[in-house]
Structure 1
């Protein structure tokens, strides 16, 4: 089977799996995963840096793991929090997390910053310390599969180029996801050359550190 056909089949299966998780379980797993992210990764990262963080995160939608507890926590600690907005057909732009009244229903109904919220320039992508992305399924080697639009693959490529241009040293940018236990596969997700891998998975039971990517 062609790798793209394999990915389409996996997306169909995992869309059903995720939608079948009860709202109670989604809420519980999301909150616990966010707590692990703060205690085990973000708090120590702030301590090592000796400063606040610049964090990028998706805004959760429908049956995705809920990012709101994590974002509230980052805001309370003074972190710079960036969120995405679909910009045309092929990319996302980054914007400072606005007040709730300045979030609107964007492409596919996904919440995003209103049009008057200024864009975070690509030239400042090198300031980002931590990236949290959505997905349908994950494996224990850092593999991820999304819905197939490629927005986050292109964003990660932009981020990589920005880091290379700035020759950023020190702490690497951490790439992570919140994951329901039902989303973590024992086998490998089919990956193409443009697909990026993750460093961390935050789950209800703790943080999974991806080794040897």
Structure 2
């Protein structure tokens, strides 16, 4: 996370645009009717451009909200007010629950070339993916977050289907 946090604000914005453009041009994004995005915290890859593109294309966008040990996605409109939830993450109000996500965008601290990721240690995305509430999971990262050696993976960890960086998309 230190490497990601060391990125200059301009680099974060520029690289985030490239990541989002890669996702927007993917067949998974094009085919999805419901996108599970996230509101970035700190130096995470930005998502506003993707949310805007999805809304312009008539797609439903949902953002996560943590509720105890569970993470649920609620429909989001750009005019909706977000509130600071657990862990300082901006979350939607629990109004319009979305049961299934076609494409869920996943943040993380580190990623490997086999689809493994290190998140923030609570397992929210792993549980969400393992419960089958998403058809396709795609991590969003800067290339500096990719490690060449495999990341440790436990029995509860779930691999991603793909990883998007400023250099394009890797499929697993």
Q: Which has the larger radius of gyration?
A: 1
The reply to whether residue 34 of structure 1 matches residue 7 of structure 2 is no
Aligned to 2:137: 175
Question: Mind listing any 5+ residue stretches in structure 1 that lack a counterpart?
Answer: 1-14, 47-51, 164-172
**Matches of 2:80 and 2:50 in 1, distance apart?**
19
Structure 2: how far apart are the matches of 1:36 and 1:98? 23
Q: Output the CA distance in 1 between the equivalents of 2:148 and 2:108.
A: 16
Alignment length (residue pairs): 172
Post-superposition offset of 1:42:
4.0
Q: CA deviation at 1:113?
A: 0.7
Q: Which runs of 5+ in 2 are unaligned?
A: none
- Determine which structure has the larger helix proportion and give its number: 1
**Deviation per CA, 1:79-102, whole angstroms, max 9, x where unpaired?**
1111111112x0112100133442
Other-structure match for 1:69: 49
CA contact 1:98–1:113 (8 Å) conserved in 2: no
- The two structures have a TM-score, normalised by structure 2, of 0.92
Separation in 1, partners of 2:64, 2:148: 30
In the TM superposition, residue 203 of structure 1 has moved relative to its aligned partner by: 1.1
RMSD: 1.7
2:124 match: 151
In the alignment, is the contact (CA less than 8 A) between 1:174 and 1:199 conserved in 2? Answer: yes
Aligned partners of 2:74 and 2:93 also within 8 Å: no
Cross-structure match for 1:3: none
Output the CA distance in 1 between the equivalents of 2:62 and 2:93.
13
Structure 1 counterpart of 2:67:
87
Q: Deviations for 1:113-136, whole angstroms, at most 9, x for unmatched residues?
A: 124x2323xxx32xx211111100
**4+ residue segments displaced more than 2 Å:** 40-43, 98-101, 117-120
Q: Please give the TM-score of this superposition, normalised by the length of structure 1.
A: 0.75
